[in-house]
Amino acid sequence: MGLVVKNIQPKSLFFHIVVPVSMAVALAALCAFAQSPAVDSPEQALKTKTELVKLDVTVLDSNGNFAEGLKEQDFHVSDDGAEQPILYFAPVTDAAKVVVVLETSPSVYLIKNEHIAAAYSLLKGLSADDEVALVTYSDVPRNAMPFTTNKAQLLSALGSADYMIGSGALNLYYTVSSVVDGLARFPGKKAIILLTTGLDSSPRSQWTKLTQKLRESDVVIFSVGLLGPLTNTLADDQKHSKHVPGGSAFDSGDLRSDPTLQKANQGLTALATITGGQAYFPASGSEFAPVYRQIAACLRNEYVIGIAPGHDGQFHHLMVTVGGADTVPSQKKEKHKKKKKEHGEAQYRVSFRQGYIAPVS
The pTM for the full model equals: 0.78
- Distance between CA atoms of 281 and 223, rounded to whole angstroms? 8
Beta-bridged to residue 53, according to DSSP, are 307
pLDDT confidence band for 252 (50 / 70 / 90): very low
Is the separation of the CB atoms in 75 and 110 below 8 Å?
no
| Range from 87-91, 201-205, 286-290, 346-350 carrying the lowest mean pLDDT | 346-350
Mean pLDDT of the chain: 80
Distances (CA, A) of 210 to 39, 137, 143, 206: 33, 16, 20, 6
Residue 340: pLDDT over 50: no
What pLDDT was estimated at residue 183? 97
Q: Residue 169's pLDDT is what?
A: 87
Distance CA 347, CA 119 (A): 28
Res. 16 pLDDT band, cuts 50 70 90? very low
pLDDT at 230: 73
Considering only residues 340 and 172, tell me which one the structure prediction assigns the higher pLDDT. Answer: 172
Q: Measure the CA–CA gap between 275 and 172, rounded to whole angstroms.
A: 16
Sign of the dihedral defined by the CA atoms of residues 340, 345, 346, 349, in that order:
negative
CA distance 146 to 135: 9
Of 119-128, 234-243, 254-263, 297-306, the least confident: 234-243
Cβ-Cβ contacts under 8 Å for 282 (sequence gap 6 or more) = 224, 225, 228, 229, 288, 291
Q: Is the pLDDT of residue 289 over 70?
A: yes
Average pLDDT over residues 151-165: 92
Residue scoring higher pLDDT (70 or 11)? 70
Higher model confidence: residue 198 or residue 41?
198
C-beta atoms surrounding 191 within 10 Å: 22
For residues 119 and 16, give the distance between their C-alpha atoms in angstroms, rounded to a whole number: 22
Task: Please compute the mean of the pLDDT values over residues 118-145 and round it to a whole number.
Answer: 94
Nearest-angstrom CA–CA distance, 231 and 237: 10
Task: Give the confidence band of 133 by pLDDT, cuts at 50, 70, 90.
Answer: very high
| Through-space distance between the first and last CA atoms of the chain, rounded to whole angstroms | 37
How confident is the model over 80-117, as pLDDT tens digits? 999 999 999 999 878 999 999 999 999 898 888 888 88
